[in-house]
Amino acid sequence: MTSPSRISRARVLELLRLAARRGDRAALTLAIDQMKTLAYTPRYWAKYLELLTHPMARLVDLLVIKQGDKIAHQKGWTRPKRERPAPAAKPPARRKRRARRARPVPTGQQALFPDLGA
């Protein structure tokens, strides 16, 4: 594994982008190796969770490493709960609409010249 002092968020994300663009398996392997180093070392958990704010790193964690949620749970970190909007006041009751009679479909000259009338 790579020494933790040389791992940076920017470098890991650069490797992930390279792997995504070109399909470079070596870049993906290096990125995963560096991410595992951060994920499996309690000293670097905060750094790892900061890395997981990027969607590509989150995807790698969900599919390969599976440590982000475990670390957050062990540290007692929780996501802020989404505030639900206050329930709106009930709108005034709607009036029932009257059923309209269907108009006869104009045919022939009436369709072409509606101003002539019937």
Q: What is the pLDDT of residues 2-59, one digit of tens each?
A: 555 578 889 999 999 999 898 889 998 999 899 888 888 888 888 888 888 899 888 8
Q: Answer whether 24's CB lies under 8 Å from 56's CB.
A: no
- CA–CA distance, 19 with 108 (Å, rounded to integer): 68
Predicted local confidence at residue 15, as pLDDT: 92
* Higher local confidence (pLDDT), 104 or 82: 82
- Whole-angstrom distance, CA of residue 31 vs CA of residue 24: 11
Mean model confidence pLDDT for the chain: 78
Q: So what's the pLDDT on residue 17? A: 92
Return the pLDDT at 9: 87
Domain ranges in the chain? Answer: 7-75
Given a cut of 70, whether residue 103 has pLDDT beyond it is no
Sign of CA dihedral 49, 53, 57, 61: positive
- Distance between CA 90 and CA 97 in Å, rounded? 20
Q: Is pLDDT larger for residue 67 or for residue 58? A: 58
Cβ atoms of residues 75 and 45 within 8 Å: yes
| Spatial CA neighbour of 30 closest among 69, 62, 68, 60 | 60
Helix axes 25-39, 9-22, angle to 10 degrees: 150
pLDDT at 104 over 60: yes
